Structure 1
Amino acid sequence: MVCVPSSTLSAGNTKANPDHGPCLAVAALPFRPPGPSTHGRKVQLGDMVRTLSQVFPEAQPAELCVEVPENYGGNFPLYLTKLPLPCEEAEGQLVLSGNSSTAAEGPFAVDPESGFLLLTRALDREEQAEYQLQVTLEAEDGRVLWGPQSVLVRVKDENDQVPHFTQAIYKVRLSQGTRPGIPFFFLEASDGDEPGTANSDLRFHILNQSPAEPSPDMFQLEPQLGALALSPKGSTSLDQGLERPYQLLIQVKDMGDQASGHQSTATIDVSIVENTWVPLDPVHLAENLQVPYPHHIAQVHWSGGDVHYHLESQPPGPFDVHAEGKLYVTGELDREAQAEYLLQVWAQNSRGENYTEPLELHVVVMDENDNAPVCPPRGPPISIPELSPPGTEVARLSVEDLDAPGSLNSHVVYLLLSPEPEEGAEGRAFELNSTSGSVTLGPAPLQAGQNVLIQVLAIDRGGAEDGLSSTCEIAVTVTDINDHAPEFTTSQIEPVSLPEDAEPGTLVATLMAADADLEPAFRLMDFAIEAGDAGGTFGLDWEPDSGYVQLRLLKNLSYEAAPSHKLVVVVRSVAELVGPGPGPGATATVTVLVERVVPPPKLDQDSYEVSAPVSEPAGSFLLTIRPSDPTSRPLRFSLVNDSEGWFCIEEFSGEVHTARLLQGARPGNMYTVLLEAQDADEPMLRTSATLTIHFLKAPSAPAPTLAPVPARHLCTPRQDHGVVVSGSREDPGLASVHGPYSFALGPNPTVQRDWRLQALNGSHAYLTLGLHWVEPREHVVPVVVSHNAQMWQIQVRVPSDRVSLQRGGAVYAQGGPHEGHAHENVGGGHPRGHPDSNRHLPHPHLHPLDPREEEGARSASG
């Protein structure tokens, strides 16, 4: 918006918003009187002013601002500003509208030829300070071709108004005691010129004071605010009791401090009145006062005029002051919350300035018995040692009564409610001082561990019937003292028997002790062997808080040195004992009987091992079992678990032999038996050891041979005799040295059908006919002989005749390091050791078996 002062405007002189370029200047046209218009407030006659070739685009031109001095005394019309009309020609009419008071008599018009805004008469700012106009170009049908263009016309103020007071004569009361410089009256004046300008900037002055005594400057007037106050001289004069009235002639002038300006005067009549701002007596108010509130309690009065009262309470309380100076309490008071209040009341002018010092009012709250005694919170139990003497102070009650201290309302006395004295008891366990609240022990005894709850009634007003009361509680615990000595539960222990070979550390006996005290620290015990153990053979083992002690053996016993021990064990309290010392129950006696011990037999080894070939014959000596001490008592030996029955032990000598042939034993295997040795006199004393036999491979056996024997013939049909196959007569024990031989018929089925071969012992077999009849001739019977892993086949030649032949025959196997021939031995009737069975006959050779013959021979022998 662009404002253009009227002094710079003339025909053809205009300023517009910089967003729009200026139109071409148009020469001023003669002024024509305005005529009526059908649009807006007023239009100029001849509004069809130009023809435009097109309709203009819609736009919002920037607002124009024009300032016009009021009371303009020049020629009219006054060209104010050129409107930024469009340059293109078009038929239309300019329409002027605005907020002037009367549309028909509005002071503005638009020159349709030049486009200037015109002022047609003088303006008065006090009548209207500004005009908001709007100009549009419209077609006949009312369409807006251009605009609206806003124009703000401001009327510039001139000092054409005289200031004046609200009253010609003011009557004012001035109280003695008013402080100097504090305004007691405020003048009011007005000026119709524009506010905030020098034209309306007012100044106040005192032109005259009557009378002028005692000083012509009794009063002072603040020039800009018009605040009337006493001067320091005037205050001093009033303090001296001066009460005459004063009249002041005052002036108000505009244009501020400039010499020029309009002015007017008025009169102030000042009456001096007596100071009524006097001190107040204290006010006593009962707490919990039951009256309607607010309740009037006092009155203050400031005798001067224009007074406002202000109240403050220290501490803040329910108080208020009304406009007429009456003081009120607005609610009930509680003395226990606040016993006194200090109220301060100020007399102030309308600006809140104090005329003088405040008045003080002391409010005292009167006590009522509205608070019962308050017991202290029940704390942890109070500990009292047992056996404490009567009169020992347990606790001292200190109740609090919030009513006024020193008054009857807070005078508290005490009454013991519980515990009640026990029936038959002399006196009570506790006693109470009714005045001090001290609780002491009475003559009745208390027991350790006892918990007591003491109840005390606290009553105010000295215990009067109308007094308020509370019940206080004190928890008391009777603590234990070490007044009981520990004692054994059994003072005489049954005799304990121990063998003399008992190991050190062996538990002999366990003793139990008890202590009647309750405190764990007082139940800790020490034990000691008081007598009967000078050599330190025994010892005690215990935990201080366990209540039992273990009597253990520390050294080896000897029946010969001491067949019995009588031990005296005592128990003591670890803590210092209060009262009588230990009694007889603190001693216990333990008798230990020593049993003689004969040591069990002991062998010279814990285990034994021996090796034996699997071909070892029966009765072979293996080893001798001996005791570790040759001088020890005689022993008896036995084998416990010889399941095969291969071995035996001589009962007293301890010699171990083979009991029979080790049939079934395999080389490389082990066989373990348990040896047991008993004391010959006391069989219960025994010991044992293991005997492990390692089986070895048998030495190689010599090939069997057939010893020569006299010829014998078998009879057919079969008779009751046969042939014995036997060993050599020169060395009959040779087979037993190398182990047994096994005999079997050859694998030929015919041979196995026709013949039968039966083992007699480890070196002989008995050959007989298997059929009832065989062909009479010499038969060759193959016999397979085996020893351990070796195997041979011999040919036994047996002649067969008819019934006339003699009976019997034998075959034996004989070996030696230099023998390698096979012989046939034929005999009859003496299968086991007969003298005739050892006659020898030379015979053909021995030939080995091939694998198929070996398999057949094994089958046949089975």
Structure 2
Amino acid sequence: MLKLCGLQFLLVIHSAMCLNLGDLHVTGPLKDMNFSIPEGGGVRILYQFTSEPPAVTFRLSGDKDGIIDIAPEKGILYLNGSLDWETKPVHWLQVESLDVNGNVVKGPYAVTIYVEDINDNPPEFDQITYAGVVRQNSRPGKPFMYVHATDRDNPATPHAQLTYSILHHFPNPYKEMLFQIDNVTGAISPSRTGSYYLDPQKQDTFTLVVSVKDMAGMSTNAFTSSADVIIHVKESLWKAPATIRIQENSTQVHPVNISQVQSNEPNVTYDIFEKEKLPRLPFSISQDGVIYVTKPLDREEKDTYTFFVVAKDNQGELTDKPLQIHVIVEDINDNPPVCKQALTVIEVQENEVGGSNIGTLFATDMDEENTLNSRLRFKIKSQVPEVPTSNLFYVQQDTGVLQLTGRSLSKFYASNYSLEVLVTDGAFETICDVEVHVIDINDQIPIFEKSDYHNVTIAESVPVGTVILEIQAHDGDEPDTGSSLIIYQVHEGDPNNTFIIDTDAKTNRGFMKINKALDFETKPVYNLVINATNPEPLVPGVQYNSSSLTLFKVFLTNEDEPPVFLKPVYQEEVSEDVPVNTLVMTVEAYDPEGDSVRYSLEGDVKKWLRINSITGQVYTASRLDREETEMYTIDVVATELNNAAQKSRTSLILHLQDVNDNLPYLVKDNPAFFCYPVRGGERTLIQATDADEQWFYSKFTFSLPDDVNTRNNWEISKVNATHAYLSPKHPNFEEKIYNVPIILNDNGKPALENKVHLKVNICKCSSEKSCFIEVERQHSLPTAGQAIGILIAVLLIIGAILGGAFFHIKYKQKNEKSHHKDATDSAELNKLT
């Protein structure tokens, strides 16, 4: 311990000289020294230099700054105040030793004191209050202003590492802040929420309290400062213009400025992309955001355009959402009227009354609909011939409807008129041609050339579409008009439309055809009344009479038809365990001619069924088996009793329902085995199955029979509904094959139980964990004597085989001779008798 000579430190130099430094370990000879001293801390001793005679005192020079000094006689280097890194981070000093005369004995030596920074300065913002402007819908994360603070501490240490945060947000109307700050750079930008919700109409000013901490914000002892940030929200510059209207076929020099957009951010690049794919979009945009139309537009080609304008920063990222630009091409009257038909033909009866609408002239205009540019007006320019007057016709100027001015049309004057109709849209005129045909009035009725076509006899099997009669009526009206065209119909005697009559429009000849299949048993005779009419209505005072009617009879001849089943297919569900002779179903067929029907079965390969040939009742003939065939299909044949050649067939399908009639059994993929010796814990997986359908049991039950030997040696544990494990209960098994009895229960209704035996081999195993099979050791090659013996034995065997074959041939020949002799003797005997 250091002991002080005085009671107080009145002067540092005196105190240093009064110290008893016998126990001070920071001592040493005079040499170059480096010290790292934390700033602050007040008075302290740094080091004591020891003197070597003849040196008796020390001298310090350099950057002492009134704080660093040395006790001349003791050689104690000390501080009489606090160092300050911010004032001077390094002090360069020299120390030398002197003799009694003040001459330098050693030195000077360099003493360097490095001042270590401590966190003793809070960060300070450049401004007490900051002000910034942000645009509505600005890009989230895009800075619009910065705050900045400094710290006087050493920037190479965490003491001056600053981190920024938003302490308060006034007002804060949403759950998330509308602004965010980069904690390193102090950049303030809209948050994703702010980019969406900022609106100067709702809130145009916000105040943020921004905090800055030193120590990188990671220490509880960090210093903190704050500043207010006033943010003004301005309306977004990035807005789509209102719908742009461009007049078609403009004569201006293109490109033409039609609108302009401006991004919220500077130094952006503008671009256009299409909403719809066009061969070439007739619009462009400059780097100032000016939108141009690049060529004259044609409304009739395309009347609207929609495209998008985007702004990108220098990294190619979108600065704002794309703006949708809508352009409407305004119409001008640049299209003349067009006649819908090159020649409009109208037919008018000669007795038509004045004011009647006789037809309409249709014209179109490609200019915009429902505008004056496409409004059409009609006017008759000429009429040829002008008889009996020059104004027989009138056209409604806005609709094109043609009317008669009076009851003046007569084929006596003219049968055709040619009209020129002037159609105008206000700027253009077009002539449309109209022909008016004066047609004869329908004042003549059709008259049949025969009032009775008598009858025809046909077979009921005559196919549909066959013509069975040709008829003819005549009409005195003008040919090739609706007044003279004849329509034939069966007026009476055919309620089901069994017959139909087609008309040859040139000759007015009628052809009666079979429209539906005939059936002698349903209707053997048809008494038909046929009428003839015109598509054009008759004039008042004229009516159809008996001259427009004719009679015709159709007789059908009966043909022998095969029986007809009441159903196309007979199906039935039958349980597979029904007793033999159970009635399954009844099939029914009838003969159209009333003959009796007999039934038989074909294709009953399993002989499961029989049928009553008279009643059609089908019975089981033997036991059914679903496991053999689940759906059994055979043919039922119906035959006429008096004509076996007339027969019909249909399908009989039995759907067999399962019953639980099959015992469960083990699926044996591989024989079970355990490696000898048994060590314990082994098990083998066994599986049960059943030929019955799965839904007849919920699970298989595995168990061992109730005998002591089996239960002492083996145990069964369930795995799932179809599998279980068989395990040996002890290790004391011999190396042999065991027959293990297992009881399987299928839990059906009724439940079936089967006792099976599983062969389990306790065997020595190979390295692959399978039973090891010993192969008999191969013998060595035989000796010469053994080889001779083997050869003799082989020759004897071959000789025996050849002898046996020779004896068999001789015996066969002898039998054949004997048989031939017996046949000869038999023939002779027959002759004698």
TM norm structure 2: 0.30
The structure, 1 or 2, with the larger RCO (C-alpha pairs under 8 Å, 6+ apart) is 1
Greater Rg by CA: 1
